[in-house]
Amino acid sequence: MNTKQLNKLTMYLAVEGICDASPAVWQTLQAFADVYTDLKTRVNNIQTFAQSQTQDTSGIAADKKAARQAMCAAALPIANAVHAYAVKTKNNTLAAEMDFSMSDLMAGRDVQSRDNCQNITTTANANLASLASYGITAAKLTALNGAIAAYNLLISKPRDTRAQGKTITGNVQAEFDAADEDLVIMDDLTGQITNAKFVDDYNNARTIVDTAASHASPNQPTPTPTPAKP
């Protein structure tokens, strides 16, 4: 939430505090009670959305990087073994296709890294019978396929998280708009409430305080210039 919204939320909570402290004053005014129930729902929704907005998403990127490294680390020894087999059998095309370093596998876009590793496991599987003496087994290919699948699940997650964040931001604003409308109705209905203290407290709670300004450093006094010497 931005500062303006935080200030509004503080005001909403202040109004809730006043209303919750004296329910008998307004509960008989049905229209006020109905709108106040909706206001409480809106405030609860805002707080829930705010918690989602403040969640740290840096872990998603870290998980994605770790999964990419694990995938490439599993793929590299297999690529090297296939490359050795290709060199031994004078298969220059296959040797060129499997000529990877760790930095080669880690480089490029997310899907490029995945596709390179997928090509390694596909090629190794096609030559599995000839690769037994080079240390390549079906179990190793299964492990690589699992690492590829785990990484593939994380490829779009940062983008999906950003998209969800935009959706949440829109939902937060909609809840603020609805809460403001509720308060306009409640403001109009305070004229029907005869408890003067409650009305005064309610009106005071409705004041939005700029918390950013209240925490700002006070202006320093302007120093008086020293008179010039004659």
Q: Are 147 and 64 part of one and the same domain?
A: yes
Q: Establish if 24 belongs to a structural domain.
A: yes
Q: Establish if 218 belongs to a structural domain.
A: no
Q: Considering 139, 157, 175, which residue would you say is the last residue of a domain? A: 157
Q: Considering 117, 141, 157, which residue would you say is the last residue of a domain? A: 157
Q: Are 172 and 152 part of one and the same domain?
A: no
Percentage, residues of the chain above pLDDT 90: 63
Are 94 and 61 spatial neighbours (Cβ–Cβ below 8 Å)? no
Q: What distance in Å separates the CA atoms of residue 203 and residue 201, rounded to the nearest whole number? A: 5
State the total domains in the chain.
2
| pLDDT of residue 123 exceeding 70 | yes
Q: Considering 129, 157, 185, which residue would you say is the last residue of a domain? A: 157
Q: Establish if 205 belongs to a structural domain.
A: yes
Q: Are 177 and 126 part of one and the same domain?
A: no
Q: Are 40 and 69 part of one and the same domain?
A: no
Q: Are 64 and 150 part of one and the same domain?
A: yes
Q: Provide the domain limits for residue 50.
A: 3-56+161-213
Q: Are 178 and 206 part of one and the same domain?
A: yes
Q: Establish if 229 belongs to a structural domain.
A: no
Q: Establish if 225 belongs to a structural domain.
A: no
Are 43 and 16 spatial neighbours (Cβ–Cβ below 8 Å)? yes
Region 65-74: mean pLDDT is 94
Q: Are 149 and 63 part of one and the same domain?
A: yes
Q: Are 107 and 46 part of one and the same domain?
A: no
Q: Are 170 and 191 part of one and the same domain?
A: yes
Q: What is the pLDDT of residues 3-54, one digit of tens each?
A: 888 899 999 999 999 999 999 999 999 999 999 999 999 998 888 877 765 5
pTM for the structure as a whole: 0.47
Question: What is the DSSP secondary-structure string of the chain?
Answer: --HHHHHHHHHHHHHHHHHHH-HHHHTTSHHHHHHHHHHHHHHHHHHHHHHHHTS--HHHHHHHHHHHHHHHHHHHHHHHHHHHHHHHTT-HHHHHHT---HHHHHSS-HHHHHHHHHHHHHHHHHTHHHHGGGT--HHHHHHHHHHHHHHHHHTTHHHHHHHHHHHHHHHHHHHHHHHHHHHHHHHHHGGG---HHHHHHHHHHTPPP-HHHHTSPPPPPPPPPPPPP-
Q: What is the pLDDT of residue 173?
A: 86
Q: What is the pLDDT of residues 174-225, one digit of tens each?
A: 899 999 999 999 999 999 999 999 999 999 999 987 755 544 444 544 444 4
Q: Establish if 124 belongs to a structural domain.
A: yes
Q: What is the pLDDT of residue 55?
A: 53
